[in-house]
Structure 1
Amino acid sequence: MTGYAFPYRLPDLPPIVGRAALPIAVAGLVLAGVGASAPLAAQAHTYARVGPNDMSLCAPGKGPAVRITVSGMKSSSGHLFVRTYPANKHDWLKSKRYIMKVEATPNEGGVAVCVPLPSAGDYAIAIQHDINGNRKTD
């Protein structure tokens, strides 16, 4: 999977990139701050959790989560995977080192995805559209 680095926290991003729309073409890596954070070293993570795309988890007061709108997909076929990783280079894109994986149904017009997080903090987010089921980005 390839992507681009965004050295910004979500609250610092313009609305079109941060919360409203995150084009799949540039969504490889986003450092996503979701509020006040504890130091990274103090955060212990449970890895390889999988959850549904439950948009109610992104409602105000429901706990830490990030809402992502993915647009620019070439097809409505296949699977869309959104994975959150600890914001460090040691875990980034390593097998089973994601914190949470959410699978959604792709839609050429765009799709909203809610990813619940264990706590407020900094996370790296990877978005993969697998059109043909081979577990590779298409």
Structure 2
Amino acid sequence: MKIVPQAFVIAGVFAAIPAAAQSPQPATASCSAQGGPAIRVSVVGLQDRAGRLKLELYPATEADFLKDDRDLVKEHKDFARIWAQTPQSGAVNLCIRAPRAGRFAILFTHDRDGKNKFNIWKDGVGVVSGQKIGRSRPKVGQAIVNVPATGTSITIRAQYVSGLAGFSPVK
């Protein structure tokens, strides 16, 4: 199985969730510690500091991007997820481990009501490219990250529904 259970939050609360688990576990190391390549994510443009933040790592294929984690685990495909409480102030920096160097897709969500079910009218979403998502689900090409063995740093701008235009950054 290729579940990546070690994922970490740098600023704010420390929490992690393996793909097959549903409750947070404390992180056991920082993003810079040994344990394989990591993706350090700076999140900008949050609408507010409510709820929880989630990062998910998927295989970099259109067929597997946003696929149910239980199916990915059954198929022995790479998947990782972290959850963190939204820090009340300051920078928002998250870290998720990659199983190895390579190409992956990353999705960020802001679960503003903390219900662990995406609410299109309230919750936020973000991808690496920073492209406006609009009214359709994000495409894998918008979420691709090339992760070297030394790890990488990226910035994701959160987007929220803005009228009929769909998801876009907060103005």
Structure with a larger share of its residues in strand: 2
- Please say whether Structure 1 and Structure 2 have the same fold, judged by a TM-score greater than 0.5: yes
Identity of aligned residues (%): 30
- The number of aligned residues is 93
Asked if the contact 1:72–1:110 (Cα under 8 Å) also holds between the matched residues in 2, the reply is no
SS at match of 2:62: coil
Return closer, same or farther for 1:52/1:59 CA change in 2, 3 Å cut-off: closer
Deviation per CA, 1:90-132, whole angstroms, max 9, x where unpaired? 1101111361101122246431111011100000000000101
Unmatched segments (≥5 aa) in structure 2 = 11-28, 73-77, 124-171
Q: Of residues 50, 66, 79 in structure 1, which corresponds to 2:39?
A: 66
| TM-score of the pair, normalised by structure 2 | 0.47
Q: Aligned residue for 2:86?
A: 106
Unmatched segments (≥5 aa) in structure 1 = 1-44
Q: Distance in 2 between matches of 1:102 and 1:125?
A: 11
Deviation per CA, 1:30-63, whole angstroms, max 9, x where unpaired? xxxxxxxxxxxxxxx624x554525454216542
Q: Aligned residue for 1:133?
A: 114
Q: Distance in 1 between matches of 2:5 and 2:68?
A: 14
Task: Kindly indicate whether residue 59 of structure 2 is the aligned counterpart of residue 77 of structure 1.
Answer: no
Q: RMSD over aligned Cα, in angstroms?
A: 2.4
Q: Distance in 1 between matches of 2:7 and 2:35?
A: 15
